[in-house]
Structure 1
């Protein structure tokens, strides 16, 4: 079979804010366990199975440090084990129902929960780092790192921005034995000058949304005067999958995300129609859903092929197509997503389309002329309005205050002995938790907005409480407070305030 000119690269971005110890239901750890069960378990199974077939360079898999920490956290591992067992019990109860549809639902869900529980107990029980390390070592994936706590970097004090990035890369090295050469910048946020920080930290490439490159995403582009490459998400191809109006997951045959059987807590229905009320939706039919997957895989291959051909003709050289999605789309939001992912990663090469990671794209020369990037993100409007708009002005002000308070305190307490200062470590930990981009996003999108504001103010309070004790000369009290806040989350023990630039 003749090979198509160019290359396709799939990027998956895996992220959740720090949820452990901060509520369970309806907001909190439940988000982690749902995504873990529905996306992280099946997606890694898909990638491992493809790797066992000898396939390499399948995806660039972004895993943020804060998510990686939760996948290794003893509390989260224990909670996940209980969550999976509860899923199985609910499925077993539904399988014994006198109602035929609920019984069929229970039988199906019991098989899924049993497989997930076995997978978790066999491979995940001692943490996710070993699972991901296996995918890295086989060459199945390129791991993309990122800054600690997922801050919106353009709005962050440059000192804390640099510290967060370097600590995030160090954390990745501790977990996986290698430092990522590429990152997924939180929210694809960028402002001019950040490329210099990336270069200094050893970052070789990162992802921006298509409009940041004015839609010309067919090649990676060096940024400014650096060798750091920005790869742009191809929106026409990416939106073919995940468009609110016409994306694949909205097909009538796929399992409906929003409709629950309130007796069992399981999801019994198919989408049926975009304007069909939950109670009127038809029962889910796995065979019909699989048929829809096959149709959409074939369509996606055709879309990628057409895009490669048109972009290669426009450029006069082989082009690159980058499709990027949240990992949580595959399984959590779109139940059939892992099945689609497995099929499409086989179908593309079978159709003569080369696939590879962003690192592969760089090494194979899919790089064009330098570009001067401007302020951008992948949020609404492709600007910063989600994280800096009027609706979150109070959080922007809070972040500025907390960051300055933290930096002033750490600078004042920075000793001459060179010994580690655990109070300073905790002040920076809490400051970074405060400025997580998730809180402003959740407020702007009115998604658990009160939870988000509560979380931001909780961590801000921790910074204020510890630093106030320091200002009053109560060093012992500050140490006690720092230890207590540290125990509350048990997060990033390797964070070291001595690495904060002066």
Structure 2
């Protein structure tokens, strides 16, 4: 029997600051809309595809409290659908423009690729995931197919939080938020920016 040298754990971490109500671009809703369309939903699509093919994903993903709250906020859900419609419309416009002006074939095909991508994203968001990205991840965890961990409540950088009560509040709030969204206590946590306070005596900067 071959010697076991160690273990490998695939851990994905996801976080965005609160951007709802802060305009559209570059640090407003376009940020979370783009992340949902081009990261979170494609990841869910691939995970569910693996499961359909009888594979166990075997990964851990960190979803921060701020991100969970945003992705379940009504203004995100409604705005995200508008964003997807806008992207489909832009792809259709580019197709007509590129075809009319005789652009190279590769660029014309690319417009169709993006049209199909955003239409598929919208369809899965509406019908497969029931407008609930967090709920789609929760379902996978409830099936024991992935592990979801939490993070500091506001993604605060712990070494710069001078009071222990502030650090305690970050993680107590995170646990409460996790129980609200996932119906259980988290089994792990991602330290914001992987930052921790040294074990030796030190002075807060």
Fold agreement, TM-score > 0.5 = yes
Give the Cα separation in 2 of the matches to 1:10 and 1:40.
16
TM-score, structure 2 normalization = 0.87
Q: Per the alignment, do residues 374 and 119 of structure 1 end up closer, same or farther by CA in structure 2, a change over 3 Å counting? A: farther
Q: 1:203-249 CA deviation, whole Å, 9 max, x = no partner?
A: xxxxxxxxxxxxxxxxxxxxxxxxxxxxxxxxxxxxxxxxxxxxxxx
Q: Per the alignment, do residues 374 and 71 of structure 1 end up closer, same or farther by CA in structure 2, a change over 3 Å counting? A: farther
Q: Per the alignment, do residues 3 and 109 of structure 1 end up closer, same or farther by CA in structure 2, a change over 3 Å counting? A: farther
Give the Cα separation in 2 of the matches to 1:136 and 1:154.
31
Tell me the equivalent position of 1:151: 156
Tell me the equivalent position of 2:89: 89
Structure 1 position 60, deviation (Å)? 1.1
Whether the 8 Å CA contact 1:57–1:142 is kept in 2: the answer is no
Tell me the equivalent position of 2:195: 189
Tell me the equivalent position of 2:177: 171
Give the Cα separation in 2 of the matches to 1:14 and 1:69.
13
**Structure 1 unmatched ranges of 5 or more:** 193-371, 376-383, 389-502
Whether the 8 Å CA contact 2:17–2:67 is kept in 1: the answer is yes
Q: Per the alignment, do residues 111 and 4 of structure 1 end up closer, same or farther by CA in structure 2, a change over 3 Å counting? A: farther
Map 1:437-448 → 2, pairs under 5 A: none
Match of 1:133 among 130, 133, 138: 138
Whether the 8 Å CA contact 1:57–1:139 is kept in 2: the answer is no
Structure 1 position 95, deviation (Å)? 1.9
Whether the 8 Å CA contact 1:94–1:105 is kept in 2: the answer is no
Q: 1:301-325 CA deviation, whole Å, 9 max, x = no partner?
A: xxxxxxxxxxxxxxxxxxxxxxxxx
Tell me the equivalent position of 2:76: 76
- Report how many aligned residue pairs link the two structures: 197
Q: Per the alignment, do residues 373 and 25 of structure 1 end up closer, same or farther by CA in structure 2, a change over 3 Å counting? A: same
Map 1:100-111 → 2, pairs under 5 A: 100=104, 101-111=106-116
Give the Cα separation in 2 of the matches to 1:106 and 1:4.
51
**Structure 2 unmatched ranges of 5 or more:** none
Map 1:404-415 → 2, pairs under 5 A: none
Tell me the equivalent position of 1:276: none
Q: Is structure 2 residue 116 aligned with structure 1 residue 116?
A: no
Bigger CA radius of gyration: 1
Q: Find the residue that maps to 1:145 and give its secondary structure.
A: strand
Tell me the equivalent position of 1:13: 13
Q: Per the alignment, do residues 4 and 42 of structure 1 end up closer, same or farther by CA in structure 2, a change over 3 Å counting? A: farther
C-alpha RMSD of the superposition: 2.2
Give the Cα separation in 2 of the matches to 1:92 and 1:3.
56
Whether the 8 Å CA contact 2:50–2:57 is kept in 1: the answer is no
Structure 1 position 45, deviation (Å)? 1.3
Tell me the equivalent position of 1:399: none
Whether the 8 Å CA contact 1:65–1:172 is kept in 2: the answer is yes
